[in-house]
Amino acid sequence: MNNSSGSEEKRGPARDTGEMDLVAWQNRLDAFAAERGWGPYLNPKNIAMALSVEAAELVELYQWASPDEAAAFGKTVPAQREQVADELADVLLYLLQMARATGIDLEAAAEAKIAKNALKYPVPKG
């Protein structure tokens, strides 16, 4: 999946702080899809399936690697690093599209999930 668009600067939407602006990225993805007539295909079912495929492509890069090989993969070999970056970007972009399609605020959802995990997995005492 190639979601680059000439309508934004090369580094993409960012807040003044340099952090990623999720809504701006979602808007950019919406524009990219609209320019290509992809709107009818961007429903939660299709996006979830595409997200799963892209996550599997990321997994495939590490399949059968030992823990040490997996830890090293993509860190020093430029072609491997590009592969990992491409698959991570695909997963992120589909995740942003899924959140938009379902009306989920990812930042709020992440905050809520971290709070739930903190209760479920408290810091050990002692």
* pTM of the full structure: 0.84
Amino acid at 41: Y
Average pLDDT over residues 59-79: 96
State the chain's maximal CA–CA distance in angstroms.
Answer: 58
Closest CA to 80 of 91, 93, 71: 71
CB–CB of 5/32 below 8 Å? yes
The confidence score (pLDDT) of residue 17 equals: 73
Residue 101 backbone phi and psi in degrees, to 5: -65, -30
Domains of the chain: 22-104 (1.10.287.1080)
The confidence score (pLDDT) of residue 18 equals: 76
Q: What are 112's two structure tokens?
A: 């809520």
